[in-house]
Structures are given as structure tokens and as C-alpha cells.
A and B are shown apart, each in its own frame.
Chain A
């Protein structure tokens, strides 16, 4: 038998992070991700050289991560929607300073305090940088607890590779849900020592800063970041396709919504309807090419999100006017059943046949 353990998503992130060599975690309590903070409290200080701090706010937590990252630690912070809004200052600074860090957002209903139920309302915030300035964060959207664990490990490697913050965008449900997990083998860290501040020794001192008062130099820094983002767009796009082969209608959904969509698709396939799924795993970079390519064969798309419609903008951008896109959304913490979604899909499918 395998070494699978039945474990909740929030714990899986914590365990995967520690296994991946995360040695600094700072967080501030907020539902529905408290289990992750608590897991780190319990286990981080046991890891050799591990630091756990319950910060006084999300702002403090992300800025501690900024410090720890510059000092060479694999560092992570986590929160849920309202707390992620507060972290934007630090995420923007990390991106500007080109420092690696992993930020977890287990999304809940919003805007404002909203509620503590699963939601996908922070897509725009996550994929457009979120804070101020011209920058991007890589955004990974896991749909199972196993994938939460795997992508958490990958997140640290990607953050190092591109010296950029990486966001894991889950939701209340993926955090609370339990599934069997087998933890992968972490890869050895590859991060150039020259980027670490640890005191100048006998050599030249270094500094890391985001303030660039000179317009031309600031512009050059902006373009430099963009060149890096282009490389990320080239190399790091991830997605899954499900029963798209002979499909006449394609559902596009990510995270937990994609799981519900799969359930709906299985039901519809049983009654002969040719429906498939494209599931973006990276939300930035967005898997635009596969959607564009699919549109060569299939011209009907239905975007399903647990929001009022955010990713649909990226789908439309990807399609550049091709095909026909419709939308089904349940914001606010409502989690539709596969049967409910199937009904919405059937309506759309009838139009395909018409």
C-alpha cells in the first residue's frame, strides 16, 4: 500500500511547504485558513531552523516574509480574501524587489467582510498583480488536496526560479476538504546566493530596494520585469483537459469549480451529451493558447465560476472574438451541486444543437 494519508487541504499546504524547505512562516488568523496557520505553529518550529510568527496583522506578516526572503529563507504567508487585500503592499514590494515568496489565499465570499464560505471572487486581484504597479504574480489554482500539496512544493521552486511571489489560489472548500495525499519528493533548492542579504562580510555591501526615482531607470526596471513575465508565459502555463476530444461544448472552470464541472460532465456524458472541460491550473500565466486552439474545432464555451464572472474576461481575451462564450456563476459562498450545473449546461447544449 502507498503512504497516503487522509488530510485536509490546509494541513496539506503546511506539510508540503515544510517538506519543500519552507523555514519561515508568518500569518494572522482568518477563517477559512486557520488550520494552516495552526499547522505551522505546531510544526514549523520543529523543523530545523524553522520560524513561526503569529503576526499582528496581515501587513506585518507579509513584510516579515519580505525580510526573511531577502535573508535567504524559503518563506510563506497565508490568509483569506480580506487579509490578502492587506498583503498587497508587501506582494507588490516582493515583486519589485524580485524576491521569492509563497502567498496562499483560501478565498471566501466578498466584497468586504463577506462571509467565510468558499468563493472565487479574488480572481482579478490575484491575476492582475493585486497591488499597485506594473507586476504579476504566478497564480496556481489547485482542484484537489493532492494538487494543493504538489503545487505548494512547485510554488517554492517557481518563486526561486523567477524570483517572484507565487500565489496559491484555493478556496474555503479546498482548504477544509480531506482527501488522500502522497507527498512528493522535494527538489534541492536552486537559488543563487548572490541574491541573499546576509551581511557584507569583507566584501562589497548590497542593497535591495523598490524606490527608483529616476524615470528612465524605473522604466528599465519595468521592462526588465516584463521580459521575465514573458518567459514565465512561455514556460509555465499549466492546464488540464477532460473529455474534450469529441466535445461540442467546452466548460472552462478552475479550482473546486472544475471538480463540480467534472461531476456535471460525467452526468451529461452518461446521457450522450458531448461536453468537455478545460481547467486552467495556472491562472497567470493563463492557458490562452489551448483555448484558442480548441476554438478551431469547437465554438461553444461555458465559463463556470463561483463568482459573478472574472475569469470569463481572460477566456474572451484568449478567444479574440472566436466562438461563443456564456457564463454560469454562483458567488457569495454558494456551492452548486453537479446536478445544478448540469442543468445550466443542458440549456447551453441545446443551443449548440439548434
Chain B
């Protein structure tokens, strides 16, 4: 098994953290992982993206020819990546701000209104973790426990309150999708 996911969005949407938190969770579960961020000028002001590869064998290339999954947080990133996703793959789409829909019938599309869900929780900044809830549930590569453990290690032990709201965000995203 080898699965590659691209996480993409605006610089401030926390897409690198999404990829990193997932990659670390997969490492906790004993998988081989690589996390490859876009860097430099690409990141300033514009879009950011990262590619995470998860495999039970050594990962040949951290660069993805045809990612299996696209977690996409804004319109420009959808345009950039929609044709590159492998047939049979899946899109996780931030339906709060993405107006277009991919013109493909060979992929699954999961829509997550991250802004609305986060607003209900009273914290617009946890949209990315809402999305991760849906992603972790549908891709089934890592358990919710591993993901939350990864999240906790990123937030650090001091920030109890932050962990609490992030846990809620994760659960809301997880439960949003059947």
C-alpha cells in the first residue's frame, strides 16, 4: 500500500500543519512517511501545499506523479491540482469557499463546509482540523487516536484549551461525513 495526498490552500489556512499532523500520525502507526512542503516564493501570500506519502514499504519518491487524495481548501488550488489526482482517488473539498466542482466522474468527492462547522464551534481558526476529521474518517489510514496524539504533540502540553477546541473540531469533521 502506498498513498499520496496533496494538502493545498491559502498560506494562512494551515495546510502545512494538516499535512504534518497527518504524516506524524501515520509515523506513530508504524508507516513509512514523507512530508514534502512547497517552499519559498510559492508560500508568500499565495497558495501553499504539501505532499504526504504513506506506505508500509520504503517510499521511493516523495514527489507524487498522481496523488491519490487531494485535500483542497481554496479555489485556485482546486484548479491547480484537479487534473493530477489518480482515477479512483478522492477530493476533500472545503465547500464553504470553493464554488467550483471538479469536472471528473472517476473520483469521489467529499464536501466539508469547514467555515460553518468551525463557526458553530465558535473558533474560525480550526477549519483545517475540521477537514482533517473528515479526511481521517474516510481514508482510514490512521486511527482517530493516533491523529489526536499527533495533534497534541504539535500543540504542546501547555495548551490544554487549544487542544480541547481542536479535539472538538476534529470530532465535528469526523461526524459530519458518513
- Residues in chain A within 8 A of chain B (CB atoms): 1, 4, 6, 31-32, 115-117, 172-173, 176-180, 256, 259-260, 262-266, 335-340
Contacts and interface: CB of A to CB of B under 8 A. Distances in A.
Given A1-B30, A178-B23, A335 B63 contact: yes
Given A6-B20, A6-B24, A263 B34 contact: no
B27 interface: yes
Contact of A263 (B24, B37, B60): B60
A338 B24 CA distance: 24
Nearest to B24: A6
Given A6-B24, A259-B62, A116 B36 contact: no
Contact of A116 (B27, B34, B41, B66): B41
Interface string B51-63: 0000000001111
B35 interface: yes
B157 interface: no
B65 A177 contact: no
Contact of A337 (B24, B34, B63): B63
Contacts of B41: 116
Nearest to B84: A337
Contacts of B32: 180
Given A116-B41, A180-B27, A6 B33 contact: yes
A4 B31 CA distance: 11
Nearest to A118: B39
Contact of A338 (B33, B39, B60): B60
A81 B62 CA distance: 23
B160 to A, nearest CB: 23
A176 B64 CA distance: 16
Contact of A259 (B20, B40, B61): B61
A260 B30 CA distance: 23
B40 A177 contact: no
B63 to A, nearest CB: 6
Contacts of A4: 27
Nearest to B50: A178
A297 B30 CA distance: 39
Which 10 pairs between the two chains have the least Cβ-Cβ distance? A263-B61, A339-B65, A262-B60, A337-B65, A178-B35, A263-B60, A116-B40, A338-B61, A6-B24, A260-B61
Nearest to A31: B40
Contacts of A115: 40
Given A180-B27, A259-B60, A263-B60, A173 B65 contact: no
B130 to A, nearest CB: 23
A9 B32 CA distance: 16
A145 to B, nearest CB: 8
18 contacts: A6-B20, A6-B23, A116-B41, A172-B39, A176-B36, A177-B36, A177-B62, A178-B20, A178-B34, A178-B36, A256-B62, A263-B60, A263-B63, A265-B60, A337-B66, A338-B63, A338-B65, A340-B65
Contacts of A263: 60-61, 63, 65
A266 B35 CA distance: 20
Contact of B36 (A173, A180, A339): A173
Interface in B47-87: 60-66
Contacts of B30: 1
Contacts of B20: 6, 178
B60 A266 contact: yes
Contacts of B63: 259-260, 263, 335-338
Contact of B40 (A1, A117, A262, A266): A117
B27 A32 contact: no
